[in-house]
Structure 1
Amino acid sequence: MPSTTAAAHHAHRSTRHPALLVAGILLIAASLRAPITALGPLLEPVRQSFALNASQAGLLTTLPLLAFALVSPAAASVAHRHGLERTLFVSLLLLVAGIALRSAGSAWALYAGTCVIGGAIAIANVLLPSLLKRDFPRQVAKLTAGYALSMIAAAGLVSAVAVPIDRALGAGWPASLATVALLPLAAALLWLPQLRSRTVSTPGLADGLAHASVWRAPLAWQVAAYLGLTCFIYFAAIAWLPAILQQAGDSSARAGALHGWMQLAGAVPALLMMPLLQRLPDQRLLAFAAPALGAVGLAGLIALPALAPVWVFAFGMGMGAALILSLAFVGLRAGHQRTAASLSGMSQCIGYLFAALGPILVGDLHERLGSWNLPLAACLLLCLAMCALGLSVGRARHIGP
């Protein structure tokens, strides 16, 4: 016999407009990478403004990842108390505030705003998979690919236009970085109707047994490791690819365009993987092939940098596919919504703690050696490690009931 809470939850779902809900999810997703990736093409003028060394500059990409790791475990509990809808709305408002603070023009605001941005994104990162598991349990893979596509496309577009917008506005990098606030602001406005029909309490999000079992499950640690390796490599590239390309002889505008090209390349596997994730018996082939393609792109940048557009596209496709899989594994490997919420928080906590090292270590390695070849080779080896891990985490298994 269904409980009162379950009945209320069912009534809540029946009053939703699915198309409006999906549109809101996609626009929220579009806001979850662009505020971070917008910084990459403008990192050199930011460094010049405050005389930052490579480690200090890398910290601007690392801080959001640390915020992901620290805030992610608490997101499910906050949503349990206040409801998924209201918590997601507040995260969008925090994101707008963080972008505004980062663009204030001072060094302390730059770093403080970056921390707020990371915390706001962390909340939505954790809650979107749980929302999909709750409201669209039979379409998790397809909608995960859809929101990953929205996230990747927005991030690529923002990266590609960051330098042209900077030049067009003529007001320096703070004005260009501030324009990205339009995405979460639009998402918050579109999300307003969801607040009228929000759940007072989201069933299962704070289940202590599910939370404990996730931390004891080897499969959960594999999901976390796959996410961590993906984001270590991907966010290192987001931080340093424009600098890598400029050292190879490209202009700042071309480097920024290729930075966006790398991220837009991730839209290709997002489109292809929507049907594949539904039809394949497991994800082993995809989880192996994605980092393998990323490794090909890195090897090409080392051996033949003149063909950078080809290698950047290959890398973007491979790591974009790996990012989609990392997100999808939360829903695909969880046996229940409460497990999905706990797995999402746990995997993002562990995964992003590791990923936070990427921009700093890669930048520091380059500064010590004066060359990008060894940092690129190190990331290539991590891609190969992901290939081996993918053969295990890609098997069709579940955590929890």
Structure 2
Amino acid sequence: MILLMHTSSTVSRTASSRALLIMGIVFIASCLRAPITVLGPLLDPIRTAAGLGVAQAGMLTTLPLLAFAVVSPWAATMSNKYGLERMLFWALAVLLAGILVRSAGPTWALFGGTCLMGGSIAVANVLLPSLLKRDFPHDTARLTAYYALAMILAAGVMSTVVVPFHELMVGNWRLSLASVAVLPLIAMVSWWPQLYAGAVLPPQPAVPIARGTVWRSMLAWQVAAYLGLTCFIHFAAIAWLPAILLGAGFSPAQAGVQHGWMQLAGIVPALALGPLLRRLPDQRWLAFVSPALSAVALLGFMVLPRWATGWSFAFGVGMGSALILSLAFVGLRAPSQQVAASLSGMAQCVGYLLAAVGPTLFGALQEATGSWSTPLGTCVALCAVMCALGLRIGRKGHVQQ
């Protein structure tokens, strides 16, 4: 057994310091997707300028997910040793360094900086749910929805402006990639006061927690599976939706619009789930309906692809809801901050391993069968598994119980 200290900040924080803390959380959340998604619109000019093959370019998009899987299980241990506030600040600092290294120019820097970015984002991904569990134990789900909204908006805005900025910089992809560094810079400034606030918070009595508890818990594995399947389906769709629509007769411009529409649809659950989760006794029906809606959309792409606008929106709402719920379940199913950090690390390790293989497996199924129906049908079946998992993990309960 090990003794872990649970810090209670909800008692000692004033209203102004809590507002400052929430602002810092939002700015950190804005850094967790944009540095990765901003690469997509610039991938072709980077490939041309750096002389990368298709496989190498694909690895640039896969490396962050692999880094998430490798680093996530260690984030809780580092947090216990150095503290949440300090680890989040240093994660931002390493993220900033990774963005600058990635933009330095040489091919090795492109890949090395991407790995640094992925590792630092993984730490923040794991520790934010733990922070919410500690400082806002009765408002975890609502704030999770709001920081998911910050992630979606920042990623969407940066992906939208990076191409015009690239043209303004006369095709200098290094400066274009470096532009996203403004996000961790702002986040570091907003988070700086928390380095001192966290040092004066009073501890509560130690809570004994067995080593490896979450890895031996069936509920923890169910939470991890729900997040993992969400990531698998979501990233596979993001990677291949344009190709599916091109095969259905859409133009490249139309396919691109549908791709963006699908991602923007994630804003709807981010806005709606915050107040809704506070009023629900449990989350079973939401955890069931979200993948069910995604399954209907996937079937729609198979049967009536000309209605792609509706299916793209439905899929974006369904998978966006499932992703927010997956993150919220980390806090809702953990009895303490430390268990939340361990559960978050475990769930994201499993989740992003599946996310890393999702696009590759999806494409391999299409290549083997010559049709998009097989990979789409496989994802529909996985949505059905998620529906069953949602009915289980949506009930009230804790990993320790």
TM-score, normalized by the shorter chain, greater than 0.5: yes
CA 1:231–1:8 in 2, change beyond 3 Å: closer, same or farther? closer
CA 1:366–1:317 in 2, change beyond 3 Å: closer, same or farther? same
CA 1:302–1:107 in 2, change beyond 3 Å: closer, same or farther? farther
1:269 maps to which residue?
269
Cα drift, residue 348 of structure 1? 1.4
2:70 maps to which residue?
70
Cα drift, residue 124 of structure 1? 0.4
1:224 maps to which residue?
224
When structure 1 is superposed on structure 2, of 252-261 and 284-293 the one drifting more is 252-261
CA 1:9–1:278 in 2, change beyond 3 Å: closer, same or farther? closer
1:30 maps to which residue?
30
SS in 2 for 1:138: coil
1:52 maps to which residue?
53
Q: Does 1:93 align with 2:93?
A: yes
2:337 maps to which residue?
337
CA 1:271–1:222 in 2, change beyond 3 Å: closer, same or farther? same
Cα drift, residue 13 of structure 1? 3.8
CA 1:226–1:7 in 2, change beyond 3 Å: closer, same or farther? closer
Distance 1:67 1:208 in 2: 30
1:18 maps to which residue?
18
Q: How does 1:77-156 map to 2 (within 5 A)?
A: 77-156=77-156
What letter matches 1:116 in structure 2?
Answer: L
Cα drift, residue 51 of structure 1? 4.4
- Conserved in 1, the CA contact under 8 Å of 2:12 and 2:201? no
1:183 maps to which residue?
183
Cα drift, residue 213 of structure 1? 1.9
Distance 2:379 2:164 in 1: 30
CA 1:214–1:11 in 2, change beyond 3 Å: closer, same or farther? same
CA 1:380–1:48 in 2, change beyond 3 Å: closer, same or farther? farther
1:285 maps to which residue?
285
- Conserved in 1, the CA contact under 8 Å of 2:101 and 2:113? yes
What letter matches 2:355 in structure 1?
Answer: A
What letter matches 2:136 in structure 1?
Answer: F
Q: Deviations over 1:103-135 (max 9, x none)?
A: 334433232222111101110011111111111
SS in 2 for 1:199: helix
2:259 maps to which residue?
259
Q: How does 1:312-351 map to 2 (within 5 A)?
A: 312-351=312-351
What letter matches 2:53 in structure 1?
Answer: L
Distance 1:243 1:208 in 2: 51
- Aligned residue pair count: 396
SS in 2 for 1:376: helix
Q: Does 1:361 align with 2:361?
A: yes
1:298 maps to which residue?
298
- Conserved in 2, the CA contact under 8 Å of 1:219 and 1:393? yes
SS in 1 for 2:32: coil
SS in 1 for 2:209: helix
What letter matches 1:347 in structure 2?
Answer: A
Cα drift, residue 59 of structure 1? 2.8
What letter matches 2:190 in structure 1?
Answer: L
Where does the alignment leave 5 or more consecutive residues of structure 1 unmatched?
none
Q: Deviations over 1:295-350 (max 9, x none)?
A: 22222333333333322221111111000000000011111222111111121122
Where does the alignment leave 5 or more consecutive residues of structure 2 unmatched?
none
Cα drift, residue 293 of structure 1? 1.5
Distance 1:27 1:252 in 2: 34
CA 1:109–1:236 in 2, change beyond 3 Å: closer, same or farther? farther
Distance 2:245 2:355 in 1: 22
Distance 1:56 1:325 in 2: 33
What letter matches 2:127 in structure 1?
Answer: L
SS in 1 for 2:118: helix
Cα drift, residue 230 of structure 1? 0.6
Distance 1:207 1:237 in 2: 42
Distance 1:161 1:370 in 2: 36
- Conserved in 2, the CA contact under 8 Å of 1:156 and 1:262? no
Cα drift, residue 92 of structure 1? 1.0
Cα drift, residue 383 of structure 1? 1.8
Structure 1 length-normalised TM: 0.88
- Conserved in 2, the CA contact under 8 Å of 1:91 and 1:121? yes
- Conserved in 1, the CA contact under 8 Å of 2:284 and 2:395? yes
SS in 1 for 2:395: coil
- Conserved in 2, the CA contact under 8 Å of 1:92 and 1:184? yes
SS in 2 for 1:196: helix
SS in 2 for 1:154: helix
Q: Deviations over 1:16-45 (max 9, x none)?
A: 711111011011111101122223334444
Distance 1:14 1:400 in 2: 31
Q: How does 1:184-223 map to 2 (within 5 A)?
A: 184-199=184-199, 209-223=209-223
Distance 1:289 1:8 in 2: 35
When structure 1 is superposed on structure 2, of 150-159 and 251-260 the one drifting more is 251-260
Distance 1:390 1:381 in 2: 14
Distance 1:365 1:174 in 2: 35
SS in 2 for 1:281: coil
CA 1:107–1:310 in 2, change beyond 3 Å: closer, same or farther? farther
1:392 maps to which residue?
392
Q: Does 1:234 align with 2:234?
A: yes
